[in-house]
Chains A and B, each alone.
Chain A
Amino acid sequence: MTSPILKAREDRRPPIIAPGHTFETVTDRISRVVLRKGTPRGWIVGFALSFSLMMVLFYATGVLLLRGIGIWGIDIPVAWGFDIVNFVWWIGIGHAGTLISAILLLLRQEWRTSINRFAEAMTLFAVACAGLYPVLHLGRPWLAYWLFPYPNTMGIWPNFRSPLIWDVFAVSTYLTVSLMFWFVGLIPDLATLRDRSPSRIGRAVYGMLAMGWRGSAKHWHRYETAYLLLAGLATPLVVSVHTIVSFDFAVSALPGCHATIFPPYFVAGAIYSGFAMVMTLAIPIRRFYDLEDFITMRHLDNMARVMLATGLIVAYGYGMETFMAWYGGNRYEEFLILNRFTGPYRFQYWLLITCNVILPQLLWFKRLRTNIPALFVMSLIVNLGMWLERYIIVVVSLHRDFLPSSWGIYAGSIYDWSMLFGSMGLFLTLLFLFVRFLPMISIFEMRTLVPEAEVKEEPV
């Protein structure tokens, strides 16, 4: 039972759907974005910019395939550079989508409904961007299929004791399961688009994708079971994926990477950056497409709270790393922390602490959590901070290890930067296509939030 005080507090918070909506208005408002005639100019401009940025990625990839990974800034001792930083950054961003769609579903957080669809799409596109880097880093990317266990004429098998092989399984499973989860969620909405599309092509394409969905009560019954089971499977999956990503570091013997705190601290960081990215995307989208009725202040406030909470876990992780370096009494660990604080990468380190630990404390204030431009800026700051975190973990740990004779300095080359910004182009291009051709908010789940959706039966 909810106490009356909690209930009164709940009533004072902004609603998760603006009052006055019916099944009809919810359906029409969301499907209109896809089915309208003509494409808004803003979309075309945004798509053109993202597409050009994506071409930068393709160009850099082309040069890489021709000349090899020597075009990047990596060398010995820093053999893992931007590619792994970007990989972990993107895959972490993807995790918020699964968190919103699966974990919040299991926790019965109804406010997730209006943001879960595009957060899931964000997951897919982020994982697609992430997957590029380890493959391109292979040196001979066209032989990437060697990573999979298949009977071959060389008579060899992958080494299943290597975290890098665990990563192959974790990331490919994650991509597949996220894709299925997203598509299953889309089926009833594709049926809506099929029935409402004014064009023949639209009806045919959405009709094929909807597979003959007709909203039968028997189908809904199995559908809901399947959706719930998928959510239950995706929840441990998302935790396992980032845990395995952190094993890539933690299983090595390198100071700054060899730490048992890595799995939980990586998972929290992933959720932190992912929520920041959802916010970065949701704020312009709700404004541009007039969806303030569905993505309300309540959503932004809740996301800011999740960011604050996960940000504190990440801050605890930084604190523990520093504490253990002193408490553990390992002189290499101790040196690593001092090198982080005062070494050649101190500027990046303190910028990371400012972005991820100090500035997000402003989210404690309700005035900031209800100020949209400030939230937008905050989400960009956290995105930057989380990228820097991975940069510090990868580069600072590698550039000065046990022997001073093997120390070095690393900086990304022009190709590293073009691949980072180019992958943002790929991500945004896919996202623009998604909001144009598919409903970015789950229509059928929004219908269940309309007050009339409740069955009011007299007790028998």
Chain B
Amino acid sequence: MRRPPIYGLLAEFDTPTQLVTAVRKARAEGYRVMDAYSPFPIEELHEALHFHDRRLPLIVLIGGIFGGVAGYLLEYWTSVIDYPINVGGRPLHSWPAFIPVTFETTVLFAAFSAVLGMLALNGLPMPYHPVFNVPRFALATRDQFFLCIEAIDPQFDRDITRRFLQRLDPLSISDVEH
């Protein structure tokens, strides 16, 4: 596929309410490939974008189970198989004493999965992204709210989309260079 001449169109809004309304209207208009940017998490926003990603809890669950099993097996193998010590005939597989470490390795692996999983799914670290080419975008981490309709959207047309965005009453509209 040929690369479109620009990455997309970026509209700037003043309040979270305006941004959520804009996203809903853009969906209703038929746009699908877009993203919204805000200085803090807005619950309504991902709903408005119809974006749901439920993979992360599963990754964390798998990480936690792996950590717990690995921790327990480490204890079992070292204390029962590789280095058994007979202390007054007490059982080698003394499972109650193995629980604290199993618990800690479960939490450790689950936490690593949560952080690394979140970063990986979000594609971070990402040294370059086209939206940063718009100078006003620096305000996305302060007090402004942005909607970017991307040029790879099948319905995207530089003029029609710009006119559509204008009707949403934004503070500014900019072309996003690649």
**Complex CA distance for A457 and B60, rounded to whole angstroms:** 34
A212 with B127: CB separation less than 8 A? yes
Nearest B residue (CB) for A161? B97
Q: Which B residues from 40 to 74 make CB contacts under 8 A with A?
A: 40-46, 49, 51-53, 56-57, 60, 64, 74
Interface residue total, chain B, C-beta cutoff 8 A: 67
**B142 in contact with A212 (CB, 8 Å):** no
The answer to whether B38 and A217 have CB atoms under 8 Å apart is: yes
- Interface extent on A, as a size class? 35 or more
Q: A161-B97, A218-B35, A455-B16 are in contact. Are A23 and B142 (CB under 8 A)?
A: yes
Inter-subunit contact B16/A453 (CB<8 Å): yes
Which of B37, B39, B127 contacts A27, CB < 8 Å? B39
Q: Are B104 and A452 in contact (CB under 8 A)?
A: no
> When the two chains form the complex, which single residue of A160, A196, A218 contacts B98, counting CB atoms closer than 8 Å?
A160
**Complex Cα gap A176–B21 (Å):** 41
Interface residues of B in 75-89 (CB under 8 A from A): 75, 78-79, 82-83, 85
CB-CB contacts below 8 Å: B1-37 with A = 15-17, 20-21, 35-37
* Chain B contacts for A158, CB-based, 8 A: 78
* A455 surroundings in chain B (CB, below 8 A): 16-17, 20, 42-44
Where chain A touches its partner, the secondary structure class is: helix
Q: Is the CB of A222 within 8 A of B129?
A: no
Does B171 have its Cβ within 8 Å of any Cβ on chain A? no
Instruction: Assess whether B74 is in contact with A149, with CB atoms less than 8 Å apart.
Output: yes
Distance in Å: Cβ of A235 to nearest Cβ of chain B: 10
Interface check A216, CB cutoff 8 A:
yes
Are A27 and B78 touching (Cβ within 8 A)?
Answer: no
Which of A149, A166, A222, A240 makes the CB contact (< 8 A) with B122?
A222
B17 adjacent to A456 (CB under 8 Å): yes
Docked CA distance A27–B110 (Å): 32
Q: Evaluate contact between A214 and B131: CB separation under 8 angstroms.
A: yes
Supposing A195-B142, A223-B118, A233-B110 touch, asked if A212 and B101 sit within 8 A by C-beta, the answer is no
* Chain A residues, Cβ within 8 Å of B38: 215, 217, 220
- Would you call A226 an interface residue if the criterion is a C-beta within 8 Å of the partner chain's C-beta atoms? yes
Contact B124 A240 (CB under 8 A): no
- Compute how far the CA of A195 lies from the CA of B142 in the bound complex, rounded to whole angstroms: 9
Residues of chain B contacted by A191 (CB below 8 angstroms)? 141
The reply to whether B111 and A177 contact each other, CB–CB distance below 8 Å, is: yes
CB <8 Å contact, A157 and B45: no
Flag the segment in A57-65, A124-132, A442-450 that touches B.
Answer: A442-450
In the bound complex, CA of A447 to CA of B36 (Å)? 17
Please, which residues of chain A bring their CB within 8 A of the CB of B131?
214
A156 in contact (CB, < 8 A): yes
| Contact call A220/B20, Cβ cutoff below 8 A | no
Residue B170 CB within 8 A of the other chain: no
Chain B residues with Cβ under 8 A from A244's Cβ?
A: 100
- Is A200's beta carbon under 8 Å from chain B? no
How far is A156 from B78 in the complex, measured between Cα atoms in Å? 9
Contact among B36, B141, B143 for A217, CB-based, below 8 A: B36
> B-side binding surface: helix, strand, loop or mixed?
helix
Contact between B100 and A240, CB atoms less than 8 A apart: yes
Residues of A within 8 A of B105 (CB): 169, 173
Chain A positions 415-450 with a Cβ under 8 Å from a chain B Cβ: 444-445, 447-448
Chain B residue nearest in CB terms to A151: B82
Question: Which B residues are in CB contact (< 8 Å) with A159?
Answer: 79, 85
**Distance from B65 Cβ to chain A, minimum over Cβ atoms (Å):** 13
Q: Determine the distance from Cα of A217 to Cα of B98 in the docked complex, in whole angstroms.
A: 42
Query: In the complex the two chains form, what is the Cα distance from A125 to B110 in whole Å?
Result: 23
A169–B102 Cα gap in the complex (Å)?
A: 9
A362 at the interface (CB under 8 A from B): no
Assembled-state Cα–Cα distance A236/B64 (Å)? 13
With a cutoff of 8 Å between Cβ atoms, the chain B residues found around residue A230 in the complex are: 111, 114-115
B114 and A226 form a contact (CB under 8 A):
yes
In the assembled complex, A219 has its CB within 8 A of some CB on chain B: yes
How many whole Å from A226's CB to the nearest CB in chain B? 4
Smallest Cβ distance from B153 to chain A, in angstroms?
Answer: 15
Least distance between A27 CB and chain B CB atoms (Å): 5
In the bound complex, residues from chain B placing their C-beta under 8 Å from that of A180 are 111-112, 115
Q: Is the CB of B114 within 8 A of A233?
A: yes
Distance in angstroms between the alpha carbons of A226 and B60 in the assembled complex: 9
Is B17 within 8 A of A216, CB to CB? no
A212's closest neighbor in chain B, by CB?
Answer: B126
B121 at interface by CB-CB < 8 Å: yes
- Residue contact B108 to A214, C-beta cutoff 8 Å: no
Partner of A24, one of B35, B107, B111, B142: B142
Residues of B within 8 A of A (CB): 15-17, 20-21, 35-46, 49, 51-53, 56-57, 60, 64, 74-75, 78-79, 82-83, 85, 94, 97-98, 100-101, 103-105, 107-108, 110-112, 114-115, 117-119, 121-122, 124-129, 131-132, 137-143
- Residue ranges of A at the interface with B (Cβ–Cβ < 8 Å): 22-24, 27, 149, 155-161, 163, 165-166, 169-170, 173, 176-177, 180-181, 183-184, 188, 191-192, 194-196, 211-226, 229-230, 233-234, 236-237, 240, 244, 247, 444-445, 447-448, 452-457
10 inter-chain pairs at a CB distance below 8 angstroms, sorted by A residue, are A160-B75, A173-B107, A177-B108, A191-B141, A221-B46, A223-B122, A225-B57, A447-B39, A448-B40, A455-B44
Given A157-B78, A160-B97, 11 more pairs with CB closer than 8 A? A155-B83, A192-B142, A211-B119, A215-B38, A217-B45, A220-B40, A223-B122, A233-B64, A233-B107, A447-B40, A455-B42
Q: Give 4 closest A-B pairs by Cβ, nearest first.
A: A211-B125, A226-B118, A212-B126, A23-B143
